[in-house]
Structure 1
């Protein structure tokens, strides 16, 4: 018995020493390559992935996941419940009752003393607006403009995850219809208009539609076959496997180990690939079998070139509509093309970004083909009088880890983006600071 215990103890000691050697060797490698290691970055990246997995995606997750239970004992934000919207295709249930009370604020004397800014866009804008430090940086930077004469700045976050043109122009119109009276509207977009639109195209839905995967399962037109359900189950099981790995890594503190974190990231790639494969197969099946017209929309553009020409025009026409709506109410618009990691030249990727910020094939094609066209079309928008700013190269010289996934930022990235937006408002010389 003693010999057995000594053997077990010796084996454990060897494993500990081996892990120590691997840990030290990997940290040395990261130091030599100039990457270094940050347990905070790894932890935040895992929390970000866990947050995304816990958000309701698709029919199985909507029916099988208890949102209250899923968010207990974590420091990731609670999520909203998607519902069909007669205006934007899809909205969050928790926001529907807030439209009118928020509008009533603009009729109060308090509103007259505050410089109110409405933020529109997708999840990058939404998460920036939710990040307290980023919100404070935006408000403080803009409030420092002497033309505001000391007025307090207040950011009203009306961005939505997955929202894209023309949903933003529809939402802008809706807010003014309800009585909102902001002093400035900021539209931060671009990624969803090419990445999610391209994903729509491969799923057999029109690129102009809201991302079909986020709302189609809520409609009565969807009739899932046994094969469809099998693929949905495969996606759900892959997500649950990822969730268990992430929760285990966070609970055990594995993010503190450079080598251990790398091992868990490698393990996460398997359920990630499993989920992506099932999702692609489901999209191919829905496309091949033909979607109901209510889901697919108008006839799809013919080839890739025609499809992307359409996407860029949809984006531009939506921006022109937002600008016209704002001008009709005497409110300036600041339209900014958001930066995104996989746009060539946007940012040198750190080692952690290479690991955590992979992108799907359809999104990557959307960025590769779409972003150069967005920049070119943005210049034409500027010539038409739209206050357009190209923010796609904001982090072109930054080597630190700013992205937590393919398009979203850690707090330092959101803070820098918020400051850039506020500073860009200085270009609104003829309107900024005027009374409503």
Structure 2
């Protein structure tokens, strides 16, 4: 009898525990649904599923998912991404280190193909990927006479960290190899001031490639990494694999609670990744060899330029490089458009929500001051660019009319909503400009 009562009591306890667990899971799911709606502005169960891991709501600033901690040295471009597969369907890091479905130089396979080249840094690289997937610019260009029946091919020559004169050098390199281009878009401005400013602080010539990207490569080439730095490299690589696995799991979550808990887990991994990268950088600097022992030569300076002189030189490097890109392309009647990219640290009339402020701004970033001083210096070069017949688009205010979150990190990159707005701005502005040019030509 006692055994029966004990069994009955145990059964009742299990039943109550299961009911409580069910209620806990229901409340967790409801709370997660609310959290997801606030974060993404859409209902979890009717959401449009992200095809790109960068669109999952995780702040991946500085995380190079399919790369080691460093890029690869390149004798002409400075550095490139390591060629190989990419997690985006239909893309790869091609034979020259660019994100593209094609190897370069790309040869036309049909007479009606129209090749658009995209140049710049990571924002331009993301734009190129978005355009390949969505063909916003081709849709606008098809409205022009003679382009309606063209098959548009978009080739990206952009990579994270590139800044002028790298775009100019890469353009000339591929033209020398016989790469055909029918249209070129160069999206830049941020790297030219943000990364050149870091060059200046490290007494590296402003026109040299980014010190952020070059110095870790130099340490590896010189075999000057400490044991601790090597251990951190392995730790970073292992953590990156976990981030990739977590993002894959996040893409396949069927419950809001799964999305919430996995997001927290992955974001924690990303935060640890960033901390390890900072530790690695400190170790690398400790063991950095002087020029005498280095197998890599850099143009260095004797002093750090003051802000006025430094940003004036950066702005001229930017403007002159663009002028020469235009000159070499105009010789073959190839339209060239330059776009000054929007950035959160350049103040416009845009009002940021509290949610976006937490994503888009970082008080400790070295980029903020560089953009605040550097963008006005770039804008002062607009009259000179226009005098040289450059089609220059000022995109700094492109997000002013939207209240949606458009930044995905505290550097410079845009989420899906931001990409849509930016790509539409670029395409509509180019179409308007080309229509005006054609109208002027008819009057002559």
Does residue 89 in structure 1 map to residue 94 in structure 2? no
3-state DSSP of counterpart to 1:185: strand
Cα shift at 1:303? 3.4
Residue deviations 1:44-101 (CA, integer Å, cap 9, x gap): 2347839954221325xxxxxxxxxxxxxxxxxxxxxx54333211235423496665
Structure-to-structure mapping, 1:31-46, within 5 angstroms:
36=41, 39=44, 40=47, 44-46=55-57
Aligned partners of 1:432, 1:86: CA distance in 2, in Å? 44
Cα shift at 1:185? 1.8
Contact 1:212 1:295 in 2 (8 A): no
> For structure 1, which segment, 420-429 or 311-320, has the greater mean C-alpha deviation from structure 2 after superposition?
420-429
Gap change, CA 1:48 and 1:131, over 3 Å in 2: farther
Cα shift at 1:207? 3.7
Contact 1:117 1:154 in 2 (8 A): yes
3-state DSSP of counterpart to 1:370: helix
Q: 1:150 aligns with which of 139, 143, 148?
A: 148
Aligned partners of 2:104, 2:250: CA distance in 1, in Å? 43
Cα shift at 1:127? 2.2
Gap change, CA 1:124 and 1:27, over 3 Å in 2: closer
Q: What is aligned with 1:382? A: 386
3-state DSSP of counterpart to 1:336: strand
Aligned partners of 2:266, 2:356: CA distance in 1, in Å? 12
Aligned partners of 1:24, 1:18: CA distance in 2, in Å? 10
Q: CA RMSD in A?
A: 4.1
Q: What is aligned with 1:77? A: none
Cα shift at 1:167? 1.0
Q: What is aligned with 1:184? A: 183
Structure-to-structure mapping, 1:126-275, within 5 angstroms:
126-131=125-130, 135-146=134-145, 148=146, 150-152=148-150, 154-162=152-160, 163-201=162-200, 205-218=204-217, 220-233=221-234, 235-236=236-237, 239=240, 242-243=243-244, 246-247=247-248, 249-253=250-254, 260=261, 263-264=264-265, 267=268, 270-271=271-272, 273-275=274-276
Q: 2:366 aligns with which of 343, 362, 382?
A: 362
Residue deviations 1:157-212 (CA, integer Å, cap 9, x gap): 23322222111001111222222343322111112222333344456644422234
3-state DSSP of counterpart to 1:49: coil
Cα shift at 1:282? 4.4
Does residue 423 in structure 1 map to residue 428 in structure 2? yes
3-state DSSP of counterpart to 1:58: coil
Does residue 349 in structure 1 map to residue 352 in structure 2? yes
Residue deviations 1:202-252 (CA, integer Å, cap 9, x gap): 566444222344455555335212343355455446545645654554454
3-state DSSP of counterpart to 1:224: coil
Aligned partners of 1:317, 1:205: CA distance in 2, in Å? 20
Cα shift at 1:124? 1.9
> For structure 1, which segment, 50-59 or 411-420, has the greater mean C-alpha deviation from structure 2 after superposition?
50-59
Aligned partners of 2:190, 2:327: CA distance in 1, in Å? 22
Q: 1:19 aligns with which of 28, 42, 45?
A: 28
Aligned partners of 1:279, 1:327: CA distance in 2, in Å? 45
Aligned partners of 1:364, 1:48: CA distance in 2, in Å? 18
Does residue 310 in structure 1 map to residue 321 in structure 2? no
3-state DSSP of counterpart to 2:194: helix
How does the TM-score come out when normalised to structure 2?
0.73
Q: What is aligned with 1:49? A: 60
Structure 2, unmatched stretches of 5+, are: 1-9, 84-93
Structure showing greater relative contact order (alpha-carbon pairs closer than 8 Å, 6 or more residues apart):
1
Contact 2:246 2:266 in 1 (8 A): no
3-state DSSP of counterpart to 1:415: helix
Gap change, CA 1:116 and 1:37, over 3 Å in 2: closer
Residue deviations 1:372-422 (CA, integer Å, cap 9, x gap): 322222343223432211111111111123333343333443333233223
Aligned residues: 401
How does the TM-score come out when normalised to structure 1?
0.74
